[in-house]
Amino acid sequence: MKKSLKIALSVLLLCIVFVVKNNLSTKTKVDNIKFIINPGDSFNIITDNLFKTGIIKDKLFFVGFAYFNGDYSLLKPGEYLFNGNYSMTEVLEMLKTNLGISVTIPEGFNIFQIENELINKGIIGKKGELVNFKISNLQDDFDRYYFLKDIDKNNNLEGFLYPNTYFFLKNTEIKDVVFMFLDNFNDEIYMKIKAEIGNKDLYTKLILASLLEKEIYHKEDMPEALSVIYNRIAQNMPLQIDATLCYIKIQNNYINGRSLDCGVLSNVDKKLDSLYNTYVNKGLVITPICNVNLETLKQTISRIETDYLYYITDPATKNTIFAKTLKEHNANIQKYLK
């Protein structure tokens, strides 16, 4: 009797193992189905939606397996695209690892380009949400973001939107988007450099780094280019940095719904009415003109002494060509740009 019971239990166990393995390995064909897990969705709601959309075929088994191995509590809110053949384990793995909508912010992007990207990806809905978000909106968070404390509270967050790959949910609240950027800036820049740059000097360094980022192609040319900026300020000369004119044009294009590019600069652009026009206004611009990474910011920490007052970029090599006098500068223009 005991022997027969053992045999029966063994057969039953083998059948269960076979059914489990079969269910786990059986793949369901899914054709281009967008699946969304909203924040706060329960596991039961997620399972019902997976079943209704045809991504899984056996709801009861899916629930049992997910509870058995603990995956039921690991599913992340986000937007998923199912297109292909998926086993039950593959469905669970996908729903555990997707972190939302991926957005990559390249080094040198400005706030208008970043907001445009966020809108195109459906992360924020309204134009101006990020561009017009002021530092004053974060006064209760200065303990968390100490680097904002000494900056004009009417400024926006240009310069603090650290270039990186981010994952957001669709229609994220703007303050949550801002927190994501600032947390990254804090981790990737501020905590690594605050001992070398005083808190009050950080913003000035960010402005300088943004000018170098947009003007200078090779990092090794940045120290000399930085000396040009310092030398021109010391001699009360306007900086005459073309990248600031491009910033004005992109800003105007964004406001007016045009393509976010600079185009070819002309003498007319040198008369643009803006605080960012370094042909008209002397000294540094009032905010950074783009967002930089740690490597570029570090170029502004140490300062080398030169007699350079001018530079141009060689179109062929992207090397920066420096000059001490206007005569040398004009000769370089004739040699490299004509």
Q: What is the mean pLDDT of each run of 10 residues along the chain (338 residues)?
A: 50 43 68 82 93 92 89 85 84 82 91 96 93 96 93 96 86 91 94 87 96 97 98 98 97 91 92 96 97 96 95 96 97 92
First-to-last alpha carbon distance for the chain, in angstroms, is 102
Report yes or no on 2 lying in a domain.
Answer: no
Q: Are 133 and 261 within one domain?
A: yes
Classify each residue of 216-247 as buried b or exposed e, where b means 16 or more C-beta atoms within 10 Å of its C-beta. beeeebbbebbbbbebbeeeeeebebbbbbbb
**What per-residue confidence (pLDDT) applies to 20?**
47
> Residue 293 domain-assigned?
yes
One domain, residues 217 and 180: yes
Stated pTM of the model:
0.76
User: Crossing angle of helices 199-215/222-234, nearest 10°?
Assistant: 110
Asked, for residue 17, whether it belongs to a domain, the answer is: no
Q: Residue 299: name the closest of 323, 320, 316 by CA.
A: 320
- pLDDT for the residue numbered 332: 96
Q: Are residues 43 and 163 in the same domain?
A: no
Residue 91 sits in the same domain as residue 191: no
Total domains present in the chain: 3
pLDDT for 198: 77
The answer to whether residue 3 sits within a structural domain is no
Kindly state whether residue 205 falls inside one of the protein's structural domains. Answer: yes
Residue that finishes a domain, picked among 40, 71, 97? 97
Q: Is 295 in the same domain as 311?
A: no
162 and 298 together in one domain? yes
Note whether 173 and 272 are same-domain residues.
yes
Residue 104 maps to a domain: no
For residue 5, the 8-state DSSP code is: H
pLDDT on residue 101: 79
Q: What is the pLDDT of residue 102?
A: 79
- Give the residue from 75, 97, 119 where a domain finishes: 97
Residue the block writes with tokens 């070819």 = 264
pLDDT for 3 equals: 52
Query: Do 146 and 275 lie in a common domain?
Result: yes
So what's the pLDDT on residue 25? 57
Residues 239 and 118 in one domain: yes
Here the CATH number for the domain that contains residue 70 is: 3.30.1490.480
- Given this model, what pLDDT does residue 19 score? 45
- Does the residue 156 lie in any domain? yes
pLDDT at residue 16, as a whole number: 42
Number of H helices, E strands in the chain: 12, 6
pLDDT for residue 310:
97
Q: What is the pLDDT of residue 1?
A: 57
Same domain (yes/no): 290, 145: yes
**Residue 70 forms part of a structural domain:** yes
Same domain, 257 and 326: no
* 164 and 221 inside one domain: yes
Joined tokens for residue 61: 């088994």
How many of the other CB atoms lie within 10 Å of CB of 83?
11
Print the domain residue range for 298: 111-302
As a whole number of angstroms, the distance between CA 332 and CA 337 comes to 8
DSSP three-state, residue 296: helix
Whether the Cβ atoms of residue 27 and residue 39 lie closer than 8 Å to each other: no
Structural tokens at position 265: 């600069």
